[in-house]
Amino acid sequence: MFETLKPRPADSILTLMQTFKDDPRPNKLDLGVGVYKDATGLTPVMRAVKAAEKTLWETQDTKVYTGLAGDPAFSDAMIALVLDGAVPRDNVAAVATPGGTGAVRQAFELVRMARPEARVFVSDPTWPNHISILNYLNMDVVRYRYFDEDSRGVNFSGMMEDLADAKAGDVILLHGCCHNPTGANLNATEWKSVVDLLLKTGAVPMIDIAYQGFGDGLEEDAAATRLVASSVPECIIAASCSKNFGIYRERTGLLMAVSQHSAARKLHQETLAFLNRQNYSFPPDHGARVVTMILNDDTLRADWMAELEEVRNNMLGLRSQLARELQRLSGSDRFGYIAQHRGMFSRLGTTPEKVEEMRAKNGIYMVSDSRMNIAGLNAETVPVLAKAIIDAGI
Query: Annotated catalytic sites, by residue?
Result: 127, 208, 210, 243
DSSP letters along 56-100, please?
A: HHHH--------TT--HHHHHHHHHHHHTTSS-GGGEEEEEEEHH
Phi/psi-derived region of residue 371, left when phi > 0, alpha when psi is between -120 and 50, beta in every other case: beta
Q: What share of the chain is helix, strand, coil (3-state, %, to 5)?
A: 50, 15, 35
DSSP letters along 190-252, please?
A: HHHHHHHHHHHH-PEEEEEE--TTSSS-HHHHHHHHHHHHHHSSEEEEEEE-TTTS--GGG-E
CA atoms within 13 A of residue 305's CA, in its CB half-sphere: 13
Q: Is the dihedral of CA 126, 129, 130, 132 positive or negative?
A: positive
DSSP letters along 285-331, please?
A: -HHHHHHHHHHT-HHHHHHHHHHHHHHHHHHHHHHHHHHHHHHHHHS
Residue 52, judged by CB atoms within 10 A of its CB (0-12, 13-18, 19+), counts as buried
Residue 325, judged by CB atoms within 10 A of its CB (0-12, 13-18, 19+), counts as buried
CB 171 within 8 A of CB 119: yes
Distances (CA, A) of 4 to 1, 7, 138, 265: 6, 10, 20, 43
CB 257 within 8 A of CB 251: no
